[in-house]
Each structure stands twice: as structure tokens, then as C-alpha cells.
Chains A and B, each alone.
Chain A
Amino acid sequence: MTAYKVLVVEDSPTMRQLIVFALKRIRGFQISEANDGVDGLKKLSADKFDLIVTDINMPIMDGLKLVSMVRNDPNYKETPIIIITTEGASEDRERALALGANEYITKPIQTMQILETVKKLMNV
């Protein structure tokens, strides 16, 4: 069975735990966690990930900056990126997708929606 490496970037430990707990329900997922965009970039350069799940509003480096930097990295040009955020305005969504995010999910967290989106993107 193929193992997929997933990086969850989220500053709220509670929210991070909720996402990790949801993703662990998909077999074969190895999940790593990062507290913010900078921490996320460090982990992305130290390993090769197959999926990135990130929040937008984070200290030090926000999710949008992270997405744009990830897309400039040749190793992560095609890696699926899912944004999970409280920002529900359509312009926020469009901006995130224009920067290179593949999916945009709004909070409050809905586990089923996250799982379906991940499964669709990863074909699992």
C-alpha cells in the first residue's frame, strides 16, 4: 500500500488536532504538523510531502504566503494544497486558488468535507 506524507500547517493546536485526527482515518497517511508558514517551509524542505493542508491566518507567515512560496519550489509545483480557513469571502477563495491552492474549505470544521476533498485530490 502506498504511504502518503501529509503536512498540516495550523497555528491552533486544537484545530490542528482536529484535522490530524480526521486525516488519520484515511489508511496510509503519514501526518506531520507545523505551527505556522515558516515552520511549514522548514518541514517541506526537509522531506517530500504528497499533500499540504494549511490555514490562512497564522503568525510569522500566513497560509497564502506559504502557498505562493510552495508553488515556486520545483519540488512542490504539482503537490495538492488544501486551505482550511475561517475566511469565507469569495475574493479570499479566488485569491488562494489563484496563488495555487487546489481546494478551499471554510470553517467551522466539517470532517466529512475534509475527508471527501482529500480523497478526491489524492485518488484514495
Chain B
Amino acid sequence: MSRSDEEKDTVSRADDFLQMFKKGAEFTQDLLKENERLRFRIVKLEESLKGKDQGASSETSDIIDLKNKIEALELEKKEILGRIKTVEEENQSFANRYLEIEEENNMLANLYIASYQLHSTLDFKEVLQIILEIVINLIGAEEFGVLLLDEKTNRLEPVASEGIATNEMPSIAVGEGIIGGSVKTGENYFIESMEGYQRDFAKPLVCIPLKIKEHVIGVIVIYKLLVQKDQFTDVDYELFTLLAGHAATAVFSSRLYSDSERKLSTIQGFIDLLTK
């Protein structure tokens, strides 16, 4: 190779090198730019991550708040449900009490009417009839009788009855058997069990002495209840005693009135005879 060829070759290599160097410089610049862009991106991402972390922690605290609120509300709900239960129980208790009072009220109203009817007349027979009506309609007895004390003989004599003939009922001495014993002590008698009971004049279902204070003037004796009345209720026991008290005074005063009327008419007869 000649010297000029060598020079040309050198120049051409230098040009190539220069070109390559230029490309290298451009590539380096591109790399720098890319690097800068990526760094910027990293900064951005880091910032965004930081923001997200902060958001997540605030979200967590919100959830905790909500959980606390739910727990508080659950407690409140439990308390309210408890109160509702208490109120419902009270309500039920009031309703039951209302029914009891209503029943007592009805019993008192019935008792008032019964005693009003008993004292509405001084006719002895009418008083006995009212006693029978009351025992049928308020107590629910089907077979029963009223026996009054004859103070001369100290025996109980049947004077009225329902479901059985009055003359079929025996006269009983005070102190004799269940009926006489009930009159002697002045205590009510109720049979222990009504199951399989058959009418027995000596063993009644119920004996209610007719008392004015401690003075017994007679007795109501029950032998059979209405089919639909298979047992006595608590109200019956009270009703028996209260009605017996009113019946006793009504019987006593009407008998006294009848006796005095009879005596009056006898005396009037004598006076008429003497004055004629």
C-alpha cells in the first residue's frame, strides 16, 4: 500500500471512529435521559406509595372506629331488647292483673245484685226462692237444699230445695254427721274429691252454714253440681261465704217479719173480739 492509500485509510477509519463516537455520545445521552426519566418515575412511584400507605392507615382507623361503634350499638341494642322484654313482661303482668281485677269486679257486681235481691223482700218464701236462684245461677249447683235450725228441737229442718224433693231430705240434729258438725262449728265443708261421687244425704259435696256473726241459723247443703261445673274455683269459696252471710240475714229478718205479722194479726183478732 502506498502512503496516500494509507493516509486515506487512516482518514476513513478516523471518520468511522468519529461516527461511532458520535453514535456513542448520542446513545449515552439517550441513556442519561432514560435514566432521568426512570428516576423521576421512581420518585413519583415512591410518593404515590407513601400516599397509599397513609390512606391505608387512615382506612384502618376508620374501620376500628366503625367496629367500636357497632359494638356500642350492639350493646345498646341488647340493652333496649332487655328493656323491651322487661316492659313486655310488665305488660303481661298488668294484663293478667287486669283480668284478675275484672273477674273480682264481676264477682262483686254479681254479689251486689244477689245481696240486693236477697234484701229486696221481707217475704220468707220469696227469700228462700232467691237463695235457690242464686245457688243455681251463681254457684252452679243442680241438687241442693236449705235447712234451717229449729231452736226448740235443736234440729235442722229442710225448708227449700232444688233438684230433689224437700220432704225427701232428712232432718238432722246439730252436731250429727258432716252437716250437723258444720252447723255446730260454723265452718264451711267441702268434699276433698268429687270424683265418682254419688248422692248421699249424710255426705254432701258442700255445707255452708248460714251465719249471722257467730250465730248459725241454718245451712245450705249441695249434693250435685251442674254437668258443666266439674270443680270449684277460688272465687266460689269466697262467694259461698259472702252469699251465706247475706242469705242468713235475709232469712232471719224475713222470718222475724213473718212471725211478727202473724202475731200482730192474732193480737188484732183478740182486740177485735174484745172490742166488739
| Chain B residues whose C-beta falls within 8 Å of the C-beta of A110 in the assembled complex | 106
Interface size class of B (residues with CB under 8 A): 20 to 34
Tally inter-chain residue pairs, CB-CB below 8 A.
59
| Chain B residues whose C-beta falls within 8 Å of the C-beta of A109 in the assembled complex | 110, 137-138
Per-residue CB proximity of B122-142 to A under 8 Å, as 1/0? 000000001001101111101
| Chain A residues whose C-beta falls within 8 Å of the C-beta of B226 in the assembled complex | 86, 88, 106-108
User: Do A88 and B137 form a contact, CB below 8 Å, given A17-B113, A18-B110, A111-B109?
Assistant: no
Q: What is the CA–CA distance of A13 and B120 in the complex, to the nearest angstrom?
A: 11
Interface size class of A (residues with CB under 8 A): 10 to 19
| Chain A residues whose C-beta falls within 8 Å of the C-beta of B116 in the assembled complex | 17
Q: What is the CA–CA distance of A18 and B138 in the complex, to the nearest angstrom?
A: 9
B109 in contact with A15 (CB, 8 Å):
no
B110 in contact with A111 (CB, 8 Å):
yes
User: Do A107 and B137 form a contact, CB below 8 Å, given A86-B142, A86-B226, A112-B102?
Assistant: yes
Other-chain residue from A14, A21, A88 in contact with B134 (beta carbon distance below 8 A):
A14
B227 at the interface (CB under 8 A from A): yes
The chain B residues found within 8 Å of chain A, CB to CB, are 102-103, 106, 109-110, 113-114, 116-117, 130, 133-134, 136-140, 142, 226-229
The chain A residues found within 8 Å of chain B, CB to CB, are 12-15, 17-18, 21-22, 86, 88-89, 106-112
